[in-house]
Amino acid sequence: MTLNQLKEVMKYHLRHLNTQPDIRITDNTIHKDVLADDDGPPTSKDLYRSLVQWSLSVTGDKDPSWPKGWMDQSVKDLAPKLLK
């Protein structure tokens, strides 16, 4: 998966998990502004992470190592770290 494809996948999943209509999902969207770790189980944070991991695995990419504090990062900042 290319970097641009991953960013589109991430934004797609964020849009579908977004419960706040005033937040527009872009490359600059900070994950913690959309996702929560107390709205489950499963939480939107856990669902998103699983969906992104699944999306990478079906395209042949390895299961990424998610950096500490990834919820504080934007789509554009997190995506390249997941492709390493």
Domain positions in the chain are 3-82
pTM metric for this prediction: 0.93
DSSP string, 24-72: PP-TT-BGGGT--SSS-SSPHHHHHHHHHHHHHHHTTPPPP-PPTTGGG
Read off the pLDDT of residues 20-63 as tens digits, 9 standing for 90 and up. 889 999 999 999 999 999 998 999 999 999 999 999 999 988 88
Q: What is the DSSP letter of 35?
A: -
Q: Which two tokens stand for residue 38?
A: 């107390």
How much is the average pLDDT of 61-77? 94
